[in-house]
A and B are shown apart, each in its own frame.
Chain A
Amino acid sequence: MVDLIAELTGSVGSIGYGLAAIGPGIGIGIIFGNGVQAIARQPEAYGVIRQNMLLGFALAEALALLGFVAPFVFGT
């Protein structure tokens, strides 16, 4: 009988951060991609678009940052 089939040693938190960065990475890409497209279509609305773009960026980025802090808080 084998009690332990697989074991993972090392910094598991770093892997967690990698996983946590996938979603926000895609989200931030979409936000800035569409933001640049909007500016290209309507350059006179630059101020409003940039502001909302940064707002969306900040909200998506918060998830990745939670993932970044977690290994330091719950790490060994």
Chain B
Amino acid sequence: MLGAVVPMAEIEPGCHLGNDFGCGFPAPDASIFEIEPYFGSFTKPVFLLLLGSLIIIIFFLAAFRNSKLIPGKLQSVGEMGYLFIRDGISREVIGKDGDRFVPLLFTLFFFVWIGNLWGIIPGAQFPVNSRFAFPVGLAITVWLIYMYLGMRHQGPIKFFTNMMFPPGMPKAIYVILAPIELISNVIVRPVTLSIRLFANMFAGHLLLTVFTVATFYLASLSLVGILGSATSFLMTIIFTAFEALIQALQAYIFTLLTAVYIAGSLHAEH
């Protein structure tokens, strides 16, 4: 029976390695992401999303409400976050005229980050963005914004011709290049933007669950049980730290790509 995969829903209570009734490793599958709603369609991710938004609003209101020239402790932290987005992302990618997009990028970064961060906060431990609908909603928002900006700054038809015919290529290449550029800019961009965020959070949560379940499954009073269980627990801790890194990185990449797309819409490639 060892190594047989049992669906998560059919775990028997007290399922350990070397039990009398023998039960295989209950490998977690996609069913761990299906959570019973509290009421109606109000599920745990929705609750965490609203709570996360509330935390961001309260934190930055508290940080910037009484802004002083010489910032206090809270204001310093808030300004660090703001300057990271403005100088590190907006001005580097878009340039000086990107300053009007800083509120958007700032909101996106912290919204995505806290949504991811719920994955390692004890008690919550569910990354909001591991449900596909949330990244899709964010990606559609970004898509609408950069399409609108492109049509407004370059003209509705010029935007698409600039996109499909980047200058400086041999004429014959455009037969292949034009459709590829169109598909890549209009369809592939939002799809990869959403899947990148979703799959990272999905994989991370699954990984943590595998090691947590293994810690429980291997626990028994034998040499294999103690060593295996302790190793799995150690791996859980290590991967939690790793996840913290990935979560911040994914929020950064999401914001960075949004800035790159906006920059591409504002100015055509020369």
Contacts and interface: CB of A to CB of B under 8 A. Distances in A.
Contacts of B202: 68-69, 72
A66 interface: yes
A65 B246 CA distance: 14
B88 A58 contact: no
Contacts, number: 42
For chain A, which range describes its interface: under 10, 10 to 19, 20 to 34, or 35 or more residues? 10 to 19
Nearest to B89: A51
A55 B260 contact: yes
A69 B30 CA distance: 10
A58, A65, A66, A68: most-surrounded residue (chain B CB, <10 A): A58
Interface residues of B, number: 18
A68 B260 contact: no
A58 B92 contact: no
B192 interface: yes
20 contacts: A47-B88, A47-B92, A48-B92, A51-B92, A51-B256, A54-B249, A54-B252, A55-B260, A57-B253, A58-B196, A58-B257, A62-B196, A65-B195, A65-B196, A68-B199, A68-B203, A69-B195, A69-B198, A72-B30, A72-B202
